[in-house]
Amino acid sequence: MRPFEWNLETLMVVGAGQFSRLGEVVKPHGKRAVLVTGQHAARKHGWIDAAKASLKKAGVECFVYEGVQSNPRTVQVDAAAKVARDNRCDVVIGLGGGSVMDASKLVAAVALSGRKAADYLQGCESGAWKELLPIEKALPIVEVATTAATGAEGNTVAVITNPEAKEKCVVWGPAILPKAAIVDAEFTTTMPPDVTAGGAVDIISHVLESYLAGTDKADVQDRMTEGLMHIVMDYTGRAIKNGKDIEARENLSWASTLALCQISNAGRGTDAWPLHFIQHCAAAYCDFHHGQGIAFLMPAYLNFVKTRRPDRLAKLGKRLFNAQGADAADQFTEKFSAWLKDIGLDKGLSDFGITESQFKTIAADVVRLYGPGDGTLPGDEIGPLSTSDIVGILKAAL
Ligand SMILES: [Fe+2]
């Protein structure tokens, strides 16, 4: 096991029906809240009115920004931060899925600093990110997770897209760790099947990436990963078949939080997330849903890992699928790919308009935005990925 620190300060309020407690959860952190949310679901389902009512009861004023899109843009962060600054807000609430929660995190920083959102993006041309990251100052944040996918409610990271530069980048820092989060699985009963499936794969990827790239001397983390993967694979089909299956939804929601609240990957000692970084850069060109993009790239990525670190895949094959024999790694990739097909995520990049002619540009973006500057992408124990490795993965996922 590699050394780590774990200090999860976030108050997690977990359980069906807990959204009604929003006001009391926010109250210790501010009196004037900007509620950041998406463009449709929160209004359609009455969540904004419910949030306002709960906040009013607790004596918290509420100002709403409802313009965040999937793959949240810098312009939306700036607009929400303006609402916060114009109304002298002292706390930020994110009410939505990963896109909304990620946007709300950067809103909290921008609202306080008055900078542009684009300044914070890792790798931005101005170079401002070198002084702004890690984010040390932001308004307090309270997240309400309405999907089971990103686990953004329990970590210090956000992913934001700058459409002008065609860059989807990471921001991070201790100040954007939410002070509190509500994980109420009742929200997730409205997730359509394709979003449920994409979210499930995203959850798995959050533990699988470091399982594949990190040290193999972290058994607690290995067992947590395997357990979370097992749970997600068990319950996703149920949630797709019957969206109102609250037992399935609660298990997926809690797995989502656990997968990325800094504990499941602690001790692996790796920041190498090749699959995510390739997906981020591909998504800047086609705007597919994050979890679905991860799923479409996953079989190609697993086959790549098999050439570098087959022992990790073999271990998963044995433990998750009871695979026996020398081809346990192959059995894992085959069975996992079959599960992706079962939940309807067996498409290719070409289904979303990405063409082979874009691969070199995407690969160059990946190493520029997420590499150490030597033309490679870190893969930790998998070894560094070159641009031709990345192009190979993209081709295999076409
Ligand atoms: Fe993800």
Distance 28 CA to ligand 1 centre (A): 30
Q: Could you tell me which of 3, 7, 17 has the C-alpha nearest to residue 253?
A: 17
| Beta-carbon count within 10 A of 353 CB | 11
pLDDT of residue 169: 87
CA of 62 to the centre of ligand 1 (A): 30
C-alpha 52 – ligand 1 centre gap (Å):
30
List of residues 6+ apart from 217 with CB closer than 8 A:
1, 2
Predicted pLDDT of residue 164: 84
Ligand 1: centre distance to CA 105 (Å): 16
How many degrees, rounded to 5, is the angle at CA 86 between CA 85 and CA 91?
45
Which residue blocks in 114-245 are alpha helix, DSSP H?
A: 129-132, 193-213, 219-241
Torsion sign across C-alpha atoms 262, 149, 312, 318: positive
Q: What spacing in Å lies between the alpha carbon of 155 and ligand 1's midpoint?
A: 12
CA of 141 from ligand 1 middle (Å) equals 20
C-beta neighbour count of 114 within 10 angstroms: 9
Extract the tokens encoding 314.
């073999």
Going by C-alpha positions, the residue among 300, 301, 150 that lies closest to residue 212 is: 301
Residues 389 and 277: their CA atoms lie apart, in Å, by 13
Q: Is 273 helix (H, G, I), strand (E, B) or coil?
A: coil
Query: What one-character DSSP code corresponds to residue 10?
Result: P
Q: What are the φ and ψ backbone dihedral angles of 94, each rounded to 5 degrees?
A: -105, 125
Q: Ligand 1 mean position to 32 CA, how many Å?
A: 31
CA of 196 to the centre of ligand 1 (A): 14
- pLDDT score at 107: 98
* Dist. CA 203–CA 221, nearest whole Å: 15
Ligand 1 centroid, distance to 279 Cα (angstroms):
9
**What is the CA(202)–ligand 1 centre distance, in A?**
5
Distance CA 281, CA 75 (A): 19
Greatest CA separation found in the chain?
A: 64
State residue 76's pLDDT score: 98
- pLDDT at residue 319, as a whole number: 96
End-to-end Cα separation, the chain, in angstroms: 37
Q: Which residues of the chain have pLDDT under 70?
A: none
pLDDT value of residue 33: 98
Q: How far is the CA of 324 from the centre of ligand 1 (A)?
A: 30
State in Å: Cα 134 to ligand 1 middle.
20
pLDDT at 381: 96
